[in-house]
Structure 1
Amino acid sequence: MKAMILAAGFGRRMRPLTEHTPKPLLEAGGRPLIVHHLERLRRAGIREVVINVSHLAERLIEALGDGRHYDISIRWSREDTPLETAGGIRHALPLLDEAPFLLINGDVWCDLDPGRLALAPNDLAQLVMVDNPPQHSGGDFHLDDADRLHPRGEPKLTYAGIALLHPELIAGVPEGEATRLAPLLIEAMQHDRVGGYHYHGDWDDIGTPERLAALDARLPHP
């Protein structure tokens, strides 16, 4: 299985830290956020990773190269301007082939073993869901007792920014068009084609300098 890490955003909420440093290269626990992802993917046996880049792209490419330092293979999907989540995935599909792939937001930290995820027959996605953090108390989607996700219903959980996706979910997005992922997921949910995995382990959305500092303070440093 391949993985894709989303790393093309501007990181506006993290300013001034991201004015000269791509958000995935910001450090916590003595290592860049994206390196934590790469190390966890390698431990899970995932050796092929696609990373999309736009803002400060050359800084990321220079830092990570082809991935050999991390014992993985990195391929880069460049975007002249950020294409949003689904648009970025659509642009990278030729690098991802036709099998389901793991999708990870570059600005989250999570100790989930991706080997726990699996698509049910006929599903287009399985989303990792977590308990609602203080900054997102309303949640995103309802997970029922059969581990199916719904756009409506209570209680809601928060999408963790980690998912297993089938390329079919994105195939209809026009190449080069900025497109959000959420509407595609909601449509698939309405056809009962999205499962959920409620993760109770360690997870953080690193959306502000304060949350980055808090994560850095509690992670061990090498």
Structure 2
Amino acid sequence: MKALIFAAGLGERMRPLTDHTPKPLLVVGGKPLIVWHLEHLATAGVREVVINVSWLADCFAPVLGDGERWGLQLHYSHEGTPPLETGGGMLQALPLLGEAPFLAINGDIWSDHDLASLPREPAGDAHLVLVDNPAHHSEGDFVLEGDRVHASGPDRLTFAGIGIYRPALLRGWRDIIGDAPGADATPPRFRLAPLLRAAMARGAVSGEHHRGAWTDVGTPERLATLDAALIQAR
């Protein structure tokens, strides 16, 4: 299985830390956030990883190289400015990811989820990892009933930014996105969430509830908290 790491965001809430360093390259627990992902992906048996980059894109290769030190082969999907959002970024990366299901993970989260436990062949178009709602996102995102994910309902959970996707999820993206801003750009720029909701409506998204450690490293304060926790756990 190949993997995609979303690393193209501007990191605006993390400034001034991200004025000169992309958010996934910020150090936590003694190593860049994205290196934690690369180590977990390698342990899970992934051998090729696509990293989509935009903001400070030239900073990644000098730090990560070609991935050989982790037994990985890294590919960089350069999006230009502005970044293409999650849907547009995934669409542009598809030629590098191939036709098989792939794992995708947000570059600005940290989790102890066992990526090897994720299904290599999702039952539908996607399989999402959900977590308990953090204080800064108390309303949640999606509802998990059994192993099916729904777009609305009570007892919402938060999307962890970890999932398995089939390329088929992106087929017909234009019909779903419609005239949303960025849809007519070249390359197109759009969010993945509307495509996921459309797939949920046809029962094509499965999911699981991860009850272990997970952090959305979205602010300097949360970065510092995670850093202290990881250092203490050594």
TM-score, normalising length: structure 1: 0.96
Aligned partners of 2:41, 2:61: CA distance in 1, in Å? 18
Matched, 1:199 2:213: no
Residue 211 (structure 1) shift? 0.1
Other structure's SS at 1:220 match: helix
Q: How does 1:9-28 map to 2 (within 5 A)?
A: 9-28=9-28
Residue 220 (structure 1) aligned to one of 207, 212, 231: 231
* Structure 2 residue runs without a partner (length 5+): 175-185
Residue 195 (structure 1) shift? 0.6
Query: In 2, are the aligned partners of 1:149 and 1:195 still within 8 Å (CA)?
Result: yes
Query: In 2, are the aligned partners of 1:173 and 1:179 still within 8 Å (CA)?
Result: no
Matched, 1:185 2:196: yes
Other structure's SS at 1:109 match: strand
Other-structure match for 1:169: 169
Matched, 1:143 2:154: no
Change (3 A) 1:198 1:89: same
Query: In 1, are the aligned partners of 2:125 and 2:199 still within 8 Å (CA)?
Result: yes
Change (3 A) 1:156 1:23: same
Residue 61 (structure 1) shift? 1.7
Aligned partners of 2:209, 2:17: CA distance in 1, in Å? 32
Other-structure match for 1:208: 219
Query: In 1, are the aligned partners of 2:126 and 2:163 still within 8 Å (CA)?
Result: yes
Other-structure match for 2:178: none
TM-score, normalising length: structure 2: 0.91
Question: Deviating runs (4+, > 2 A) in structure 1?
Answer: 171-175
Aligned partners of 2:166, 2:90: CA distance in 1, in Å? 11
Give, as a single letter, the amino acid of the residue that structure 1 aligns with 2:228: A
Other-structure match for 2:182: none
Q: How does 1:149-160 map to 2 (within 5 A)?
A: 149-160=149-160
Residue 194 (structure 1) shift? 0.3
Q: Deviations over 1:160-204 (max 9, x none)?
A: 000000011123346710010000000000000001110011100
Deviates more, 1:168-177 or 1:104-113: 168-177
Query: In 2, are the aligned partners of 1:125 and 1:164 still within 8 Å (CA)?
Result: yes
Other-structure match for 1:31: 31
Aligned partners of 2:171, 2:201: CA distance in 1, in Å? 18
Q: CA RMSD in A?
A: 1.3
Residue 43 (structure 1) shift? 0.9
Aligned partners of 2:72, 2:80: CA distance in 1, in Å? 25
Aligned partners of 2:61, 2:104: CA distance in 1, in Å? 19
Query: In 2, are the aligned partners of 1:90 and 1:173 still within 8 Å (CA)?
Result: no
Other structure's SS at 1:75 match: strand
Aligned partners of 2:16, 2:140: CA distance in 1, in Å? 28
Q: How many percent of aligned residue pairs carry the same amino acid?
A: 56
Other-structure match for 2:57: 57
Q: Deviations over 1:61-84 (max 9, x none)?
A: 221111112221101100112000
Change (3 A) 1:104 1:120: closer
Q: How many residues align structurally?
A: 220
Residue 114 (structure 1) shift? 1.2
Give, as a single letter, the amino acid of the residue that structure 2 aligns with 1:115: A
Aligned partners of 2:90, 2:170: CA distance in 1, in Å? 7
Residue 115 (structure 1) shift? 1.7
